[in-house]
């Protein structure tokens, strides 16, 4: 049985305040610490990309507390594919889902799709719920380095630039989540 973290309301409020103010937040996910921001704030997304040294054309992942937070961003899937994807959530399963051109380029990069996940991690879910929507979520590490699995490693990688850290253990997976194509089921990145 995993050792689930305690959710401290004051930590959530502080982290949501940072996100609402255009800041970057680090938080535990199923496998690694995530680095996130408000997906509708292009300046915050650019700060995140610069901090990580990640090119925009690669696109980003959005995590959510529930599918309803992601649905406005996505185009409909065939019913059988939709059932397959939804059956995998909440959990450490990331799906690349088609989106309209209205989804900002700073999120989808050079793609016509967006990577999305309904997280099962209790702190990440609570953060998305308290924020009131999905968050950009990329691993908390500079490009090419191993993802952070602790607040200490986040501090070591980013002594400045991260405005809030939601403390807790990574629970539920041992490595980055697999990424699959929502239309075909094809594995784009293995676990």
The tens digit of pLDDT for each residue in 107-147 reads: 999 999 999 999 999 999 999 999 999 999 999 999 999 99
pTM above 0.85, yes or no: yes
pLDDT 10s digits, 79-92:
999 999 999 999 99
Region 21-46: mean pLDDT is 96
Spans of all domains in the chain: 9-183
Task: Name the CA radius of gyration of the chain, rounded.
Answer: 15
Question: Is the confidence at residue 177, as pLDDT, over 80?
Answer: no
**Domain range 9-183, its CATH number among 3.40.50.2300, 3.20.20.80, 3.20.20.70, 3.90.870.10:** 3.90.870.10
Is 173's pLDDT higher than 80? no
Share of the chain above pLDDT 90, in %: 85
Q: Are 181 and 96 in contact (CB under 8 A)?
A: yes
């Amino acid at each position: 049985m995993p050792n689930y973290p305690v959710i401290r309301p004051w930590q959530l409020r502080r982290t949501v305040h940072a996100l609402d103010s255009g800041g970057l937040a680090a938080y535990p996910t199923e496998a690694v610490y995530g680095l996130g921001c408000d997906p509708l704030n292009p300046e915050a997304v650019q700060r995140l990309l610069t901090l990580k040294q990640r090119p925009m054309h690669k696109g980003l992942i959005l995590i959510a507390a529930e599918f309803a937070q992601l649905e406005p961003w996505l185009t409909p899937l065939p019913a059988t594919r939709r059932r397959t994807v939804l059956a995998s959530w909440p959990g450490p399963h990331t799906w690349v889902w088609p989106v309209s051109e209205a989804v900002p380029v700073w999120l989808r990069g050079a793609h016509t799709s967006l990577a999305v996940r309904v997280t099962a991690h209790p702190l990440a879910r609570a953060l998305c719920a308290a924020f009131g929507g999905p968050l950009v979520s990329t691993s908390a590490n500079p490009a090419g380095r191993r993802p952070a699995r602790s607040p200490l490693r986040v501090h070591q990688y980013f002594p400045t630039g991260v405005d809030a850290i939601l403390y807790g253990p990574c629970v539920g997976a041992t490595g980055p989540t697999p990424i699959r194509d929502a239309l075909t089921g094809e594995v784009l990145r293995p676990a």
